[in-house]
Structures are given as C-alpha cells and as structure tokens.
Amino acid sequence: MSQLRVESVTLTFGGVAALSAVSLRVERGELVSVIGPNGAGKTSLLNVVSGFYHPQRGHIFFEGQEITRASPHEITKRGIARAFQNIELFSGLTVLENLLLARHTYLAYGLAQAGVFYGKALGKEVENRRAVEEIIDFMELEPYRKALVGNLPYGVRKRVEVARALALSPKLLLLDEPMAGMTLEEKEDMVRFILEIRAQGTTVVLIEHDLGVVMDISDRVYVLDFGQVIAEGPPEEVAQNRRVQEAYLGVEA
C-alpha cells in the first residue's frame, strides 16, 4: 500500500481548474518530484495534501486513512509536514524559538503541569529541546541558533524553513521549491540535506524548477501541465517524454 495516494483530485477556483482529476502515489521512503511550468498546479497539489485546500472531487489517503477533508492541524498530527515556497517563519523570533514553536503539537500536558513546570511538563520540554537541537545540528544552523530569523540571509532562512518542518518529526515531508532563489553553493547544500533526510527514512515530495537537480535525485517524477498529470515515471523516462518536452521545455511537436 502506497504511503500517500491522491486519487482523481479536482480543485477549482471560480470555475478555473487548478487541478483536474490528478492522481499520484508515493511509496514509503521515496523521493518523488513534481515538476511543470508556472501555474501548472504544483503548489495547489501540496495545498490539498496538507489540508490548506479541500478538493471538490477526489480522495487523498495517507497510510491507508482518508485525509481529504482533514484540517492542516490533523494532517500534521498524522505525520505530514511542509516547507513553504514563500518563507513562513516568525521573523521576530530566533531560529531556536521558531523550531521550538513547531514542536507545539508534542506539548501534551495541562495548564496546571505547565504552571509548576515539573514532572510531565519538564520531561516534554527537555524532549522537545533535545529534538530541536538535533535538527539545528543536522541542518548546520548552530551559528544562527540565537539569531533573529528576520536578520538572516535568504539562503539560511530557506534552510530554517526546512528545519522547522523537520521539527514536526514527519513521516512525509512536502518541500515547495526549497532551492528557489539560492546560489549554486546553497543549492548544493540543500540537495545534500534533502538526500540525508530521505536516507534517514523520511518520504519526500519535492517541487523544484531545477531539472538538473530533479533528474539527479528523484526516484520518480510527476509532470503537471494546466492542472493535469501529463507524465509519470523514472527521471530518465520522463526526460524523454515528448509531451514533457513540449510543455515544460518549449520543444515544438
């Protein structure tokens, strides 16, 4: 059974179809990329998977359970986390504080326990702090851990965005153009982080415009055009698909 299944999902806005009968499957531990021209529906696909939009038709299943109408909070608790294309961090807080806030879903104790900050509350705080420190180390953010996010260079903030999603300890990580606007060196670092995340057992769905990166690191690739899947398969097979070349690369038929 696929870890994630999207079945014939249609999403419309005022009569305009962002997604038209889109189907997709992701196996546990895979790195699957979704590519396509601007406006093809890639971010809309992540929005329906993560619960920000609810499709008019179709079904979405995660680990055998339907999540089509689930809220973003419910989907997060099931083990799906997302890093956004437009950085969605608290710019007035430090890197450490942003990551600790992402762990709120694991703060399972009551007001009384929080007030005395002892026993279960203290244990959970120690556990969450340990998890966050491990992510800071993993994403090589130690020099910035106490820096305000709003003062950080763009490439570092993109790294913090991914780190914040990792702080949710996801089974499935959705990455929406994590390398957009980065320098070549920053891209190489991000590719390394993504491969290490996948190597540790986390399933990854990646939206990315850099075809070189996509073809190098993906297990399978889906191609969207005008809200429809026009190709799916191994990278080398998709790269040779004539419809992909026409839609994405501008090659004439």
Residue with tokens 């702080």: 167
Which pTM was predicted? 0.88
Q: What is the pLDDT of residues 28-77, one digit of tens each?
A: 999 999 999 888 999 999 999 999 999 999 999 999 999 999 999 999 99
Residue 229, phi then psi, degrees to nearest 5: -80, 120
Q: What is the pLDDT of residues 177-204, one digit of tens each?
A: 999 989 999 999 999 999 999 999 999 9
Angle at 145 between CA 139 and CA 146, to 5 degrees: 170
Reduced to 3 states, what is the DSSP secondary structure of residue 186?
helix
Domains of the chain: 1-79+170-253 (3.40.50.300), 88-169 (no CATH)
Cβ partners under 8 Å of residue 124, min gap 6: 106, 107, 108, 109
